[in-house]
Amino acid sequence: MNEENKKTCNGYEAMYTFLNDEDFKEHLKVCEECAKEHARMQRVSELIQEAKPYIKEKQKRRTILKSAAAFFVVAFATLSIPLCMTGINVYDDLVAQNSLTAQEMGFPVDEYGFLYVE
Ligand SMILES: [Zn+2]
């Protein structure tokens, strides 16, 4: 940075804010510091542009995931009640089956103890 630039440059942000486009471009030509900063800003801006579709895609995926999680919670809460009742029924059936076989109930059975139908 030479003496002239030191006098005229108030820092990249000040120059960017207070100079018009033309003067700012002129300043970038003579001020190495601001030119560097400007190049860095351009790169950041480019990166943001490049990252935008990816960020959006990620947000979309996160929304789907959230919806799926919410759906699962609701579905589980709704299904768990009848599921419990079904569980009780299955348990009763098992107990009934164990306590009383077809043979014991007087039905004709084959050699495996299954109900025999001719
Ligand atoms: Zn400058």
Instruction: Specify if 115 maps to a domain.
Output: no
Per-residue pLDDT of the chain (118 residues; tens, 9 = 90+): 444 545 579 999 999 999 999 999 999 999 999 999 999 999 999 998 998 888 888 888 888 888 888 888 888 777 776 666 666 666 666 665 566 666 676 777 777 777 776 6
H helices within 1-113, ranges in order? 3-8, 12-18, 21-30, 32-99
- Tell me, what's the pLDDT at 86? 66
Distance 9 CA to ligand 1 centre (A): 4
Q: Residue 66 and residue 34: Cα distance in Å, rounded? A: 44
Instruction: Specify if 110 maps to a domain.
Output: no
- Tell me, what's the pLDDT at 90? 64
User: In which domain, by residue range, is 62 found?
Assistant: 3-99
Distance 45 CA to ligand 1 centre (A): 19
Q: Residue 62 and residue 56: Cα distance in Å, rounded? A: 10
Distance 11 CA to ligand 1 centre (A): 5
Instruction: Specify if 116 maps to a domain.
Output: no
Q: Count of domains in the chain? A: 1
Yes or no: say if 35 and 41 are a contact pair by the CB < 8 Å rule: no
Distance 46 CA to ligand 1 centre (A): 22
Please tell me the pTM assigned to this model: 0.43
Instruction: Specify if 114 maps to a domain.
Output: no
Instruction: Specify if 117 maps to a domain.
Output: no
